[in-house]
């Protein structure tokens, strides 16, 4: 591969980083520029046929619209609960567990978010947890950054084990079910020592960067409770992976963690002095202002239902997500029976399909309508919620409809007249020729690259699993260990994935600040990758 071809393969990544992070352009401006740059270089240097590029663009637009639908459903659910007064009841209910924002962060982002990841995956946790954190008084920036960091460890077994059962299994077809379980166990074993620290990191970041009175001390003061909260998820998840396989570690691990952590918080066990900072001034936006206005309205007309009724829509959506993702139950096949397929787009080998009823966004919308009925909402409430939800979507449409097609061109570039591999594989092979001696360090970074590009840990595993296995054999390393690091790196990449960042920012009205979000999540992502490599080298190599 020539230097020019190498630069072309790197350009989509470099352009996103430069435009979003360094130049701080909003995603709605940065992503169209990155897309234009990628199209020109793929055509001129990679020699992709026009037909292939047009098909990749069309595929990307369809996928982008499915993401927009998920975001819309998440916003609508929040807005309905805001209109009915449920959000205020939830806020009051948290005072019975703990008024400490650090504890609320751990319960909502780390544990409830992990449960949602295990049930549905594909961006659902941040879309639900981030606006809920805003409703509880967190700044939108804090909510998005911390929800993205939290949505990492559970990704190994997200969407009822999809990254393992689809990503690894199809990425390396010769792996047996016992091989898959051993790889999953190796990954969660490393996570016990690595990811269990993430709640500590989240608490420290919150207290230092998002509190009205920044304090390192307040973040470290809750470290014992936060570390125990991390272990309350990872240890049960390990036991579930050992006994039941890769489908339910995140779901059951998070439920166990919720029971443990809520019990400890109620009793004040391991909790330091209360720390209740006011939301940082820079974090206010239209969503928070709307929530504040709604709160005032609800004080004049309090909700006529209790805490269980307020939480019931979230419990319903979680139950629907779980029931619809279990293959043994009839619901999954029923929802997937309705499918819209665009095969052989523009005469290419690229196809795309959408199962509208199976999308999490559809379940969010259904739950929002049920919430109106359960909480005695009115047609006016629904009309206001629909208007507010729709108005918040427009800025993200441009960003997502440019970002996802750019990603698809990057991934579909294997069809070209230059005789080259697809751009991600070409980059990985270049790394292999230079870095094979330190592959334990590189393996999770390759996994993170896959998630950053594709927006999915499952697709990262699909794309790079066979490559990682070949590198393990060449370097004389354990296949299971290297594939476990691939999984963990794919988890970490979710923190900085542009598609996830744009979607999460859209839900809380932070369009245009995507680069700032990535600057916060970049270091935790590197911590996850590099520490996983260190633990693998010390204890498993």
> Where are the alpha helices (H) located in 195-248, listed in sequence order?
198-205, 216-221, 223-244
Q: What is the per-residue pLDDT for 300?
A: 43
Residue 174 is encoded by which pair of tokens? Answer: 């010769």
Residue 503 is encoded by which pair of tokens? Answer: 């979607």
Total structural domains within the chain: 1
Cβ contacts of 355 within 8 Å, gap of 6 or more = 335, 336, 338, 339, 340
Residue 134 is encoded by which pair of tokens? Answer: 């805003």
Q: Are 136 and 91 in contact (CB under 8 A)?
A: yes
> What whole-number distance in Å separates Cα of residue 233 and Cα of residue 218?
23
Q: Are 165 and 225 in contact (CB under 8 A)?
A: no
Distances (CA, A) of 453 to 147, 252, 408: 20, 30, 9
Q: Per the domain annotation, does 83 fall within a domain?
A: yes
Q: Per the domain annotation, does 38 fall within a domain?
A: no
> What whole-number distance in Å separates Cα of residue 73 and Cα of residue 70?
5
Cβ contacts of 325 within 8 Å, gap of 6 or more = 119, 120, 159, 160, 332
Q: Per the domain annotation, does 227 fall within a domain?
A: yes
Q: How far apart, in Å, do the first and last CA atoms of the chain sit? A: 32
Query: Residue 85: phi, psi to the nearest 5?
Result: 95, 5
Describe the crossing of helices 479-493 and 177-194 by its angle, rounded to 10 degrees: 60
Q: Per the domain annotation, does 431 fall within a domain?
A: no
H or E, element range at 342: strand 340-342
> What whole-number distance in Å separates Cα of residue 193 and Cα of residue 231?
9
| Single pTM value for the model | 0.83
Q: Per the domain annotation, does 36 fall within a domain?
A: no
Cβ contacts of 50 within 8 Å, gap of 6 or more = 43
Q: Per the domain annotation, does 459 fall within a domain?
A: no
Cβ–Cβ contacts within 10 Å for residue 379, how many?
A: 8
> What whole-number distance in Å separates Cα of residue 23 and Cα of residue 30?
9
Q: Per the domain annotation, does 59 fall within a domain?
A: no
Q: Are 80 and 382 in contact (CB under 8 A)?
A: yes
Q: Beta partners for 340?
A: 354
Q: Per the domain annotation, does 432 fall within a domain?
A: no
> What whole-number distance in Å separates Cα of residue 137 and Cα of residue 279?
6
**Range of the structural domain that residue 321 is part of:** 69-342+352-394
279: which DSSP letter? B
Going from the first residue of the chain to its last (541 residues), give the mean pLDDT of each consecutive group of 10, the final group possibly shorter.
72 81 83 89 90 94 88 86 87 80 94 86 78 89 95 89 88 88 96 97 95 88 96 96 89 93 91 61 50 46 77 87 83 92 94 91 92 91 90 78 86 88 80 83 92 84 87 89 96 91 87 91 97 95 77
């Amino acid at each position: 591969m020539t230097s020019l071809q190498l630069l072309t393969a790197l350009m989509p990544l470099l352009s996103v980083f430069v435009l979003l992070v360094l130049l701080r352009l909003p995603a709605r401006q940065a992503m169209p520029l990155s897309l234009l740059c990628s199209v020109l270089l793929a055509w001129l240097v990679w020699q992709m046929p026009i037909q292939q590029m047009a098909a990749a663009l069309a595929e990307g637009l369809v996928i982008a619209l499915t993401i927009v639908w998920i975001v819309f459903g998440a916003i609508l659910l929040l807005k309905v609960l805001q209109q009915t007064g449920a959000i205020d009841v939830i806020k009051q209910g948290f005072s019975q567990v703990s008024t400490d924002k650090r504890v609320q962060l751990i319960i909502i982002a780390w544990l409830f978010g992990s449960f949602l990841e295990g049930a549905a995956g594909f961006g659902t946790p941040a879309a639900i947890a981030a606006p809920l954190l805003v409703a509880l008084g967190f700044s939108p920036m804090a909510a998005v950054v911390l929800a993205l960091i939290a949505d990492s460890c559970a990704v190994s077994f997200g969407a009822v084990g999809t990254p393992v059962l689809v990503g690894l299994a199809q990425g390396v077809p010769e792996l047996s079910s016992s091989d898959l379980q051993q790889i999953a166990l190796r990954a969660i074993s490393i996570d016990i020592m690595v990811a269990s620290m993430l709640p500590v990191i989240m608490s420290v970041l919150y207290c230092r960067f998002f509190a009205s009175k920044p304090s390192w001390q307040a973040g470290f003061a809750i470290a014992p409770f936060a570390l125990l909260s991390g272990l309350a998820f990872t240890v049960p998840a390990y036991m579930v992976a050992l006994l039941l396989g890769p489908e339910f570690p995140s779901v059951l691990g998070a439920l166990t963690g919720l029971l443990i952590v809520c019990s400890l918080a109620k009793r004040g066990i391991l909790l330091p002095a209360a720390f209740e900072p006011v939301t940082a001034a820079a974090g206010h936006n239209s969503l928070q202002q709307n929530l504040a206005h709604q709160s005032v309205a609800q004080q004049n007309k309090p909700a006529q239902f209790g805490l269980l009724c307020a939480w019931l829509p979230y419990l319903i959506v979680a139950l629907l997500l779980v029931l619809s993702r279990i293959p043994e139950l009839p619901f999954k096949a029923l929802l997937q029976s309705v499918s819209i397929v665009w095969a052989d787009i523009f005469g290419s080998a690229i196809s795309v399909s959408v199962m509208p009823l199976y999308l999490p966004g559809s379940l969010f919308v259904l739950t929002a309508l049920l919430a109106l009925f359960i909480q005695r909402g009115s047609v006016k409430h629904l009309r206001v919620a629909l208007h507010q939800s729709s108005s918040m979507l427009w800025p993200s449409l441009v960003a997502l409809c440019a970002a996802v097609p750019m990603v698809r061109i990057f991934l579909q570039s294997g069809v070209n007249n230059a005789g080259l591999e697809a751009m991600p594989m070409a980059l990985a092979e270049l790394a292999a020729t230079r870095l094979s001696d330190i592959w334990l360090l590189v393996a999770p970074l390759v996994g993170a690259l896959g998630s950053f590009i594709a927006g999915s840990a499952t697709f990262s595993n699909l794309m790079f699993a066979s490559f990682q296995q070949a590198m393990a054999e060449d370097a004389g390393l354990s296949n299971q260990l290297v594939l476990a690091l691939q999984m963990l790196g794919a988890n970490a990449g979710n923190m900085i994935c542009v598609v996830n960042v744009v979607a999460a920012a859209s839900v809380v009205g932070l369009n245009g600040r995507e680069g700032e979000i990535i600057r916060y999540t970049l270091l935790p992502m590197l911590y996850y990758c590099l520490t996983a490599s260190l633990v693998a080298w010390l204890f498993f190599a």
